[in-house]
Structure 1
Amino acid sequence: MTHAVIYHNPRCSKSRQTLALLEEKGCDITVVEYLKDAPGRDEIHQLMAQLGLTDPRDMMRTKEEEYRQLGLAALQGEALIQAMVTTPKLIERPIVVIGERAVFGRPPENVLELI
């Protein structure tokens, strides 16, 4: 059985659809409600590596009001990672990790490449 970790926001339709797809495929799923249990700096670095990202901004929801309010457009690197640690709402969702790789579940079918 494939084990999947989903960084999930139950209020997000894409996140719910991605979770349902993983369930449909019979995956053993660990659900991380990242708004309640925010990932730390090291975990964000690990997720970025698993996603194949080098720029933290590629893991951020840049259209969120908090992004603008915090002035994140002018920042880079570790400052953006720290913003995701302190304001996890900025993290793109959902993220699914299977093995050593991860994908964004937008669209939910992206997870099929990992299964």
Structure 2
Amino acid sequence: MSTSSHPHPPRSPRDYAAAILAEGTRERRNELLQACPEEWRPLVRAHVEDAFAKVKAYREMMDRRTQSMRHGPIPAPRVTDTSYRISNFTKSAPEVGNGHLSAIRASLATEATNA
């Protein structure tokens, strides 16, 4: 991107920094830095360095994110203590429950015939 796309020449340190950041080559960026007023150069240089630091941090973050996505999620820890139970109720066999239900039904059926 060239500085000619701007509607006006740079008027502030931020304008100069934006023009420098828009350039693709280091030589052209150095020329633009030398073209800015002397009293603004430290501020323009600080703006440009901050912008490049943000770009570098973003690229590093994206690299770390790509690496973590490549490795996948961290597996859940294995359960080593299987003796722990949430409740004291023991598991029952279905035939025991069915036997109790049939006994209840039988007692209800005899009461219904007597009524």
TM > 0.5 fold call? no
Higher normalized helix content (fraction of residues): 2
Higher normalized strand content (fraction of residues): 1
**With structure 1 as the length reference, what TM-score do the two structures score?**
0.21
**With structure 2 as the length reference, what TM-score do the two structures score?**
0.21
Q: Between the two structures, name the one with larger relative contact order (CA 8 Å, sep ≥ 6).
A: 1
Q: Which has the larger radius of gyration?
A: 2
